Amino acid sequence: MGVTAAEASPGMKYDPVSLIVLVGQCQQVLLLLAGLLGLFRFRTLLPELRWLVGLIWFGLTLELASFTLGKLYHANLWLMPIDATGEVWLLSLVFALALQSPNFSRVRPWVVAVFVIYAALSSGLTITFSREAARFPPALQVFEALLILGMSMLYFRKLLNELRVRVLTHDPMFWVSAGLVIYSLSKLLIALFSNFILEHYSQNLSLLVWTINGMLTLVLYFCYLRALWLRPQK
């Protein structure tokens, strides 16, 4: 019998922890590139894409805060409700400008306010910085994913109804919406099944699921980069 690759090179064994760390680092690099591109092209961007640049730098700021807390051995899960509320609020501004819908603009502040209140109540206003108190309820992730998915689908409906875009891949907001659909579906599945997988299956499988989620987040950041690179159609 021949010698397998794993037997010949023990150091090359599959390490799910290293893989998920590598994916996370790739996310940070791609998000930073999108942020820098957004700043470089800020004056020429559509108003909705300017808010997208704000969202990207909001995410980079939280990444830096999370990294700093980790280095100081402090819990950083309490940042997740802040991330969720900031993401929903900024994306609602992006889609309000992209949709140009009076109905959406009228409902948007109320929906965002309800989400912020729910995030505060579900996460706990008395969060301490201890590892035990910093908990992030999956229900909030589900709520966030459904809102993002809903806004993205509204833009697709606008494209279908108006038929003003000749080539979809030349429309920056198409890339944003497509990336967000993939991202929100991934987040929805993670929120619904991650705890079940961790409890009933191996930890390695759970890490693999999170790695796949990270890769789909990379797709989102690529879509952001593509949207910011494109020049809007006239």
The answer to whether the predicted template modeling score (pTM) of the entire model surpasses 0.75 is yes
Give the pLDDT means over successive 10-residue stretches in the chain (234 positions).
43 66 89 96 95 96 88 76 94 96 95 93 57 59 94 95 86 96 90 71 74 90 96 65
Determine if residue 29 is left, alpha or beta; phi over 0 gives left, psi from -120 to 50 gives alpha, anything else beta: alpha
What is the distance between the alpha carbons of residues 171 and 13, in angstroms, rounded to a whole number? 43
Q: Please, what is the angle between helix 138-162 and helix 102-123, to 10°?
A: 170
Taking only the tens place, the pLDDT of each residue in 104-144 is 999 999 999 999 999 888 776 444 444 444 445 688 889 99
Residue 111, pLDDT score: 96
Taking only the tens place, the pLDDT of each residue in 86-115 is 999 999 999 999 999 999 999 999 999 999
Q: Would you give the distance in Å from CA 62 to the centre of its chain?
A: 12
- The 8-class DSSP code of residue 12 comes to G
Which residues fall within 8 angstroms of residue 170, CB to CB, at 6 or more apart? Answer: 230, 233
Domain boundaries, the chain: 19-229
Which residues fall within 8 angstroms of residue 64, CB to CB, at 6 or more apart? Answer: none
